[in-house]
């Protein structure tokens, strides 16, 4: 399996003229997976050799602005470059609880309508992922306002036996999230390639001694 990583931004807290806010792209088999989407990510994509239209999955580590404030703008730009296609698979977006509400409100308030589907999969954090005074319970966000609100998607809980969150399972790889400690609940992501056993012609081996 061929993997290529491109760093689009490595700046912390705020972008600078020479360093974008946090974002990197993993390219595999013609698809691009985006990890974090700080301000200016779409501009950095234009400067790179990558095609933003190939982004099929987006992973957000935590809800600090320098890691996800670029997301609504990127989605809107991708929409401007798209044609309506009811058969198109959704862009899957993974991130902490509260991300669906943020995207829905951002797009709703700016009167933005995406021409492609998205699905937001929210990871439910545990209270020990940040200082107690910083923890916010977003599980009741937007309730009682006339559901459904925002794009579809799953709510993913921690698997206590594995101590991780199972996000993606494909023929070749598995993607899991694990908990990190930060000022707000934060997640790391692990891409694990599945074993690929070789194929042996046992009879031929026996014939050859």
In sequence order, what DSSP letters do the residues of 129-148 get, joined into one string? GS-GGG----TTTTTTSSS-
Which pLDDT belongs to residue 143? 67
Confidence at 199, pLDDT banded by 50, 70, 90: confident
Rounded to whole angstroms, how far apart are CA atoms 209 and 203?
A: 10
Q: Tell me the domain boundaries of the chain.
A: 4-208
Q: Look at residue 44 and tell me whether its pLDDT is greater than 90.
A: yes
Confidence at 140, pLDDT banded by 50, 70, 90: confident
The SS3 of residue 79 is helix
Confidence at 148, pLDDT banded by 50, 70, 90: low
Least confident piece of the model among 10-19, 32-41, 44-53: 10-19
Q: What is the number of H-type helices and E-type strands within the chain?
A: 5, 10
The SS3 of residue 42 is helix
Nearest to 100 by CA among 126, 130, 75, 66: 75
> Are residues 47 and 19 in contact, defined by beta-carbon separation less than 8 angstroms?
no
What residues form DSSP beta bridges with 92?
A: 57, 119
Rounded to whole angstroms, how far apart are CA atoms 74 and 51?
A: 12
Which pLDDT belongs to residue 123? 97
Maximal CA-CA distance, the chain: 74
Confidence at 149, pLDDT banded by 50, 70, 90: low
Q: Look at residue 185 and tell me whether its pLDDT is greater than 90.
A: yes
Which pLDDT belongs to residue 151? 86
Confidence at 157, pLDDT banded by 50, 70, 90: very high
Angle of CA points 32, 37, 38, to nearest 5°: 150
Domain 4-208: assigned CATH number: 3.60.15.10
The model's pTM: 0.90
Mean pLDDT throughout 49-77? 95
Mean pLDDT throughout 94-100? 96
> Active site residue: 66, 92, 163, 207, which one?
66
DSSP-H helix ranges across 48-183: 65-68, 71-80, 99-109
42-46: long-range contacts at Cβ-Cβ below 8 A with a sequence spacing of 24 or more?
42/70, 42/73, 42/74, 42/77, 44/8, 44/9, 44/20, 45/8, 45/74
* Beta-carbon-side half-sphere exposure of residue 173 (alpha carbons within 13 Å): 13
Sheet holding 173-180, edge to edge: 165-169, 173-180, 186-193
85 is catalytic: no
Least confident piece of the model among 59-68, 136-145, 178-187: 136-145
């Amino acid at each position: 399996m061929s993997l290529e990583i491109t760093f689009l931004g490595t700046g912390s807290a705020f972008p600078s003229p020479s360093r974008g806010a946090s974002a990197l792209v993993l390219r595999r088999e013609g698809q691009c997976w985006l990890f974090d989407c700080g301000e200016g990510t779409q501009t950095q994509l234009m400067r790179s050799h990558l095609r933003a239209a190939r982004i099929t999955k987006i992973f957000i580590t935590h809800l600090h602005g320098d890691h996800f404030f670029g997301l609504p703008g990127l989605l809107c730009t991708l929409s401007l470059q798209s044609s309506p296609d009811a058969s198109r698979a959704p862009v899957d977006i993974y991130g902490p609880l509260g991300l669906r509400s943020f995207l829905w409100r951002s797009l709703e308030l700016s009167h933005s309508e995406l021409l492609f589907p998205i699905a937001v999969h929210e990871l439910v954090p545990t209270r020990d992922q940040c200082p107690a005074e910083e923890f916010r319970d977003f599980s009741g966000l937007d309730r009682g306002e006339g559901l459904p609100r925002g794009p579809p998607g799953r709510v993913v809980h921690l698997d206590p036996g594995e101590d991780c969150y199972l996000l993606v399972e494909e023929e070749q790889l598995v993607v899991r999230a694990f908990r990190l400690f930060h000022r707000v609940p934060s997640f790391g992501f692990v891409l694990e390639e599945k074993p690929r056993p070789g194929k042996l012609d046992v009879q031929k081996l026996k014939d050859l001694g």
